[in-house]
Structure 1
Amino acid sequence: MGARVELFARIRRDSRIEGLSIRELARRHGVHRRTVRQALESAEPPERKPRRGVSHRLEPFKAAIDQMLIEDTTAPRKQRHTARRILARLLEEHDAHVLSYSTVRDYVRVRRAEIDVEAGRRHEVFIPQDHAPGAEAEVDFGEVWVVLDGVKTKCHMFILRLSHSGKAIHRIYPTQAQEAFLEGHIEAFSVLGGVPTKHIRYDNLTSAVTAVVFGQGRQRKENDRWVLFKSHYGFDAFYCQPGISGAHEKGGVEGEVGWFRRNRLSPMPVVKSLDELNTKIKAWEEVDARRRINDRIRTIGQDFEAEQPLLAPLPAEVFDPGLVLTPRVDRSSMITVRMIKYSVPARFIGRRLRVSLRASELLVFDGRTVVARHQRIAAKAGQSVQLDHYLEVLKTKPGALPGSTALARAREAGTFTAVHEAFWAETRKVNGDAEGTRELIDVLLLHRSMDADDVVAGMTAALKVGAVSADVVAVEARRHAANTIPLVGGASADRHSGAHDGVTVHRVVSLTQRRLTDPAAVIAGLPPDTRPLPSIAGYDELLAKRATTNAVSVSKENIS
C-alpha cells in the first residue's frame, strides 16, 4: 500500500508540475495507463493487502557505535575508528553477523558529524536564505500549558508558518497525534486560502515519518496516510536533518513557537475549553498581522497580501483528518476509544459503528449520518456521557433517571438547568414520580428539534400558568421561537415591543391539571369552578331496568 501511495503521489506531482500526458506518465513511471488514470482520479490507490515491514537490523547496535564515536572525540586523529574497524569490533564483541559494511558505513558517516557538533568539535555556519512568495512553509509542534476548566493541562500547539511573509497559523490541541497533525494542516490551508507550491519543511515527526533512512540523504519512510494527505493537497515535504542541526533548517517556525508562547500564552491562559482558546488565538493572529519581523519594511499582513494569490488552490474535496475506528456498542450504550468511553444512542446497542477520532472531537456515524458528537477527552481514562442518548430507555424506566450518570453529567455541563429542575419538581408533585418524570423526558426530547432557549422559555411559561405538561411546553416554546425569528436587516419579530400593546395574549392552560396540591391555588386566568359535581344516578336506574329484563328472559327459557 505504501509503495503504491508514493507511486500515485509521484504521478500526480508530475502531472501537476510538468503537465505530462497519460501516455508519457505511464512511460516515465513504468506502469499501465490504467494505473495513471486511477492516480489522477484519486490520491488513494485501490485496496491492497499491506506489506509487512522488517525490523531495522542496526537498531540493537546503535548504542555501541555511538559509544565508539564519542570516544573518538578525545582520541588522537590517527587512532580514531574507521567504519571497518567499528564493524570488526561489533562482530567480535557483539556477534553482529547480521550487519553489512555498507549499513555501518552509512550510519557512521552521519552520526560522527552529529557527535562532533555536540562535542563542540565543529561549528555550524548559517547562510541567509531568500524564500519565494507562496513557495515554502514550515511546520512544528510546541508544548504549552493551559488552565483548562480549572485544571492545569499540558497541550500541544500546531504552527504552520509561511517562509516568505511570516504569516503563521496557531492551533492548540490536546494531543500531537496524527489526527491533530492533519487537522492543523487543513485548518491552516483553509485560513491561508491555499497551499505552498514548492514544499513544507518538517522535522522527523512520527505523524509523518515511520523511519529515517540513514545514508540516503533526506529520504524517509513515510506513513501511508500522510502520503495520501500530501497527494490530496498537492504539496511536497522537505525533511530536516535529525538532531539539533535539523532545527536550524526551519528556524522560522522554531522562533515562532517561542515568540507566540512568550507573548500570547504567558501567563498560562485560563479557559473553559480549547475551542474558547482557539477563538482567542484567531483574534491574536489578526493583531499580529500588523507587526514587523526584525528589520523588514512591510508588516506580516502586507507581505501576506502579496503572497496569498501565489499559493496553489485548495482541492474541491475536504480530507477527513480523523482516525477511522469501528468499536462495538456495549450494554451501557457506550463505545471505548483509546481507553475512553463515549455514549451513543441506545438503539445501537450491540452494533459496530464507524468512529472518526479527531484532534478535538469524536464523531460517531451510522452510515453517513452523524449520530453522536463528543469533545475528545485527552486523559488516560474517563468517560463522556450525554443524557439525550438514554431518553427513550428512561421513558420506560423513569425511576432510573434521578441517580443516572447521564443526569449528573448534564447538571455538571449546565445543560440541565434550574428551570428543568423546577419543572421536574412541579410535574412530579402534580402527576406523581413516574408520570412526572415521563413528562420531563418528553420535554427533553424537544431539544432535538428546538433551540434550548426556546424550550427553557416554554417551561418557564408553563410553570407560570401551573400547566406542567410537555404539550404546553411545546406550544409555548414554538410561540417564543416565532416571536424571536430574525427579520431582514437583523430585526426580530419582537423588536418593537410597543407594537404588541393592547393585544391580549392567550396562554395555553392544561385543564386536566387544574387541581393542584394546594386546594386554594387557582390557575392564572381561570375563574373558580362553582358547578356541582356530576351525578350518575340516571345510569343506575338504567342498570336496574336491565337486570329486570334479563330475569324475565331466563324464566321464559325455563318454561319452554
Structure 2
Amino acid sequence: MAYQLITDQQLRVYMTDLQNHSQRTAAARAGFSERTARRFDADPTLPSNRKSVHARTVPDPLEDYWKSELLPLLENDSALQAVTLLRHLQGEHPVAFPDDRIRRTLERRVRQWRALNGPERDIIFRQTPEPGYMAQSDFTHADELRVMIAGQAFPHLLYHFVMVYSRWEHVGVVLGGESFTALAENLQQALWSLGGVPQNHRTDSLSAAFRNLNIDQREDITKRYDAFVGHYGMDASRNNRGEAHENGAVESQNRHLKTAIDQALILRGSRDFASIEDYRRFVDMLVARRNKQRAMPVQAEQTHLKPLPQRRTTDFTEIVVPVTRTGGFLVKSIFYSAPSQLIGQRLRVHLYDDRIEAFLGGTLVVNHPRARGRGDGHRVHVINYHHVIHALRRKPQALWSSIYRDSLFPRTEYAEAWKVLQRDLQRRDACRRMVDLLSIAHEQSCEAELAHLLAADLDAGRVPDPKALVLLLAPKATALPKDVAVAHPSLDSFDALLGASA
C-alpha cells in the first residue's frame, strides 16, 4: 500500500472515538494503524502543525565524489552510464569503493540527474493515417520460421509492403539480400496487385542495399530509385537511421506477419516445401486471407489512390557481358552457361532477385535461376547441360576434370550415377557413359523418366548402361489392324435430313 499522510480530520476523529472505544477500534475508525495511534498518543499535535523532516538514515556514500568528480563527467557527456562512473570511482578510489555495493544508489542518482538536467529527448508524435497517402516497405529476416526447401534449410528475407491506412499488405520471398532489384521488383508487383498508387512511399535508410558499393554505384542506384518512384508519380521518403518507429506501420506488421506464417506452418504440419514456388504460393494464399479481412478499409482507400501508369518500368539491374570461349559469361563472379552459338557475342543481362535473363538484341536467348556466391571463395557455376552437351559428345573425356562438372547434372540421380560410374569403370568408359546418358536426356526430352530409371538401377546395385536404358525409354510398338471396315452412309439419309430441317 502506498504511504498516505494523516490529515487533521483523521486525528480529530481518533481523539473523539478514543473516549468511547479502545485504541485499536478508534484507530481503525480513523483510518490508520495502531502504531500511528501510539505516535499520536505520545504527541497529539495536529499533522498540519508538525514540521516535516526528511533526512537520510545512513550517510551518503557519494557525498565527497558526486559534485567534484562525477557531475563534471556527466555534464561533459550525458551518455555515460552509471556502471561506467562506478568503474571510474573504483579505479580512482579502490579503498572507498572495493565492490559494486553502491551501484543501485549511483544508478538512481544518475537517473534523477538526467530527468532534471539531462538533454532534451525525442518525442514520438503519433499520426492519424490518411487514406491513399502513404505506403511503407521493409525487408525482414525469416530464418526464425525454419522453412526448408526439398529438405534443405532455406535462409531468406521477406519483402513487406503495407498501406498505412488500410493495412493492406503484399509479401514477396527474397532469395538474396536487400538490394534495389529486390525492392523495385517486389514494390512494382505490390502496386499492380493493389491496383493504384499511393502519394508517398517510405522505406528505411536502405543502408543494407548500399553496402559494399562505391560512390558511383550508390549514386546510380539513387538515381534509378528516383526514376522508379517518378514513373509511378510517388514521393519517396526515408526514415532516419535507427528510428524504426518512423516506419512503424510496416515494422509492427512484420512481427504479426511472421507470427501468422509460423502458425500456418504449424497447422500445415510441415515446414518443408517441394520447391520455392510452392512456398511462395503458401505465403500468397496466407496474405490473401489476411487482406480479405481488410476489405472495407481497402475499398475506402482505393478511391484516394492515383491510377497506375500505362506500363511497368524497369525493376531489374542491367549489365552487358561477353560470352567467352568457355561457353558462358560471368555475372557478379557467378559463371552462367550459354549456347555455344553465342560465343563471342555481347549479351544484355537483366538481373532479378531470383533469376537472370540474357538478351541478344531484343531476343531472349538465355535464362537461369540466379545464384549467389559462396563464403569460401570458390566460384559458383550455373550450368544448363543442354548448352554444352553437343561439345561434350565430341570431347567426352573433358567431363572428368571439368571445373563445372558437378554443376552439370540436372538431377541428383545423374550425380549419383556419375559416382557409381567413376567407382566401377575406367576413366574413359565412365566419361563416355555419362555423356551418353546426358545426351539421351537432351535428345529425347526424357530427363525425368531417365532419372527414375537411373534410380532403379542404383537401388538394384547395377551400373547404369545407356544402351539398355534407351531401350526401356523407346515407345512400345503396337500392331495396327489389317482390315478396317468403314460403313458408308446412304446418300438418301442426307436428303431426308435436309428435308426435315427445311
TM-score interval w.r.t. the shorter chain?
A: 0.5 to 0.7
Using the TM superposition, give the Cα deviation of residue 195 of structure 1 relative to its aligned residue in structure 2, in angstroms: 1.5
Instruction: Check whether the contact 2:418–2:434 (CA below 8 A) recurs between aligned residues.
Output: no
Using the TM superposition, give the Cα deviation of residue 360 of structure 1 relative to its aligned residue in structure 2, in angstroms: 1.0
* CA RMSD across the alignment: 4.6
Using the TM superposition, give the Cα deviation of residue 349 of structure 1 relative to its aligned residue in structure 2, in angstroms: 2.5
State the AA in 2 paired with 1:200. H
Which residue does 1:203 correspond to in 2? 204
Do the aligned partners of residues 359 and 221 (structure 1) sit closer, same or farther apart at CA in structure 2, a change above 3 Å counting?
A: closer
Give the whole-Å Cα distance in 2 for the aligned partners of 1:69 and 1:230. Answer: 46
Which residue does 1:238 correspond to in 2? 237
Using the TM superposition, give the Cα deviation of residue 440 of structure 1 relative to its aligned residue in structure 2, in angstroms: 6.2
Do the aligned partners of residues 235 and 316 (structure 1) sit closer, same or farther apart at CA in structure 2, a change above 3 Å counting?
A: same
Do the aligned partners of residues 200 and 332 (structure 1) sit closer, same or farther apart at CA in structure 2, a change above 3 Å counting?
A: same
Name the SS of the counterpart of 2:142 in structure 1. Answer: strand
Name the SS of the counterpart of 1:256 in structure 2. Answer: helix
Cα deviations across residues 254-291 of structure 1 (Å, max 9, x unaligned)?
Answer: 1011221233147895445543322211011022125x
Cα deviations across residues 67-123 of structure 1 (Å, max 9, x unaligned)?
Answer: x99934279xxxxxxxxxxxxxxxxxxxxxxxxxxxxxxxxxxxxxxxx99x98445
Gaps of 5+ in 1: 1-67, 76-115, 211-219, 291-298, 422-431, 480-503, 508-560
Which residue does 2:363 correspond to in 1? 369
Instruction: Check whether the contact 1:148–1:273 (CA below 8 A) recurs between aligned residues.
Output: no
Which residue does 1:281 correspond to in 2? 283
Using the TM superposition, give the Cα deviation of residue 193 of structure 1 relative to its aligned residue in structure 2, in angstroms: 1.9
Using the TM superposition, give the Cα deviation of residue 168 of structure 1 relative to its aligned residue in structure 2, in angstroms: 0.9
Do the aligned partners of residues 242 and 152 (structure 1) sit closer, same or farther apart at CA in structure 2, a change above 3 Å counting?
A: same
Which residue does 1:181 correspond to in 2? 183
Alignment of 1:131-530 (within 5 A): 131-145=129-143, 146-149=146-149, 150-173=151-174, 174-196=176-198, 198-206=199-207, 223-244=222-243, 247-265=244-262, 269-271=271-273, 273-290=275-292, 299-380=293-374, 381-400=379-398, 408-409=406-407, 411=409, 413=411, 441=439, 444-447=442-445, 468=470, 505-506=478-479
Using the TM superposition, give the Cα deviation of residue 191 of structure 1 relative to its aligned residue in structure 2, in angstroms: 1.7
Give the whole-Å Cα distance in 2 for the aligned partners of 1:352 and 1:70. Answer: 64
Do the aligned partners of residues 264 and 398 (structure 1) sit closer, same or farther apart at CA in structure 2, a change above 3 Å counting?
A: same
Using the TM superposition, give the Cα deviation of residue 372 of structure 1 relative to its aligned residue in structure 2, in angstroms: 1.9
Which residue does 1:515 correspond to in 2? none
Query: More displaced, 268-277 or 199-208?
Result: 268-277
Do the aligned partners of residues 351 and 143 (structure 1) sit closer, same or farther apart at CA in structure 2, a change above 3 Å counting?
A: same
Larger radius of gyration: 2
Give the whole-Å Cα distance in 2 for the aligned partners of 1:394 and 1:209. Answer: 42
Instruction: Check whether the contact 2:385–2:409 (CA below 8 A) recurs between aligned residues.
Output: no
Instruction: Check whether the contact 1:179–1:321 (CA below 8 A) recurs between aligned residues.
Output: yes
Alignment of 1:5-24 (within 5 A): none
Instruction: Check whether the contact 1:208–1:223 (CA below 8 A) recurs between aligned residues.
Output: no
Using the TM superposition, give the Cα deviation of residue 441 of structure 1 relative to its aligned residue in structure 2, in angstroms: 2.3
Using the TM superposition, give the Cα deviation of residue 342 of structure 1 relative to its aligned residue in structure 2, in angstroms: 1.5
Which residue does 1:491 correspond to in 2? none
Give the whole-Å Cα distance in 1 for the aligned partners of 2:255 and 2:309. Answer: 32
State the AA in 1 paired with 2:291. A
Name the SS of the counterpart of 1:335 in structure 2. Answer: strand
Do the aligned partners of residues 154 and 396 (structure 1) sit closer, same or farther apart at CA in structure 2, a change above 3 Å counting?
A: same
Using the TM superposition, give the Cα deviation of residue 164 of structure 1 relative to its aligned residue in structure 2, in angstroms: 1.2
Do the aligned partners of residues 372 and 121 (structure 1) sit closer, same or farther apart at CA in structure 2, a change above 3 Å counting?
A: same
Cα deviations across residues 528-556 of structure 1 (Å, max 9, x unaligned)?
Answer: xxxxxxxxxxxxxxxxxxxxxxxxxxxxx
Name the SS of the counterpart of 2:139 in structure 1. Answer: strand
What TM-score do the two structures reach when normalised by structure 2? 0.55
Number of aligned positions between the proteins: 336
Give the whole-Å Cα distance in 1 for the aligned partners of 2:449 and 2:469. Answer: 17
State the AA in 2 paired with 1:385. I
Gaps of 5+ in 2: 1-72, 81-113, 212-218, 420-429, 455-464, 481-502
Give the whole-Å Cα distance in 2 for the aligned partners of 1:350 and 1:469. Answer: 39
Do the aligned partners of residues 192 and 413 (structure 1) sit closer, same or farther apart at CA in structure 2, a change above 3 Å counting?
A: farther
Give the whole-Å Cα distance in 2 for the aligned partners of 1:190 and 1:320. Answer: 14
Instruction: Check whether the contact 2:413–2:451 (CA below 8 A) recurs between aligned residues.
Output: no
State the AA in 1 paired with 2:371. I
Do the aligned partners of residues 154 and 437 (structure 1) sit closer, same or farther apart at CA in structure 2, a change above 3 Å counting?
A: closer
Give the whole-Å Cα distance in 1 for the aligned partners of 2:411 and 2:437. Answer: 22
Name the SS of the counterpart of 1:170 in structure 2. Answer: strand
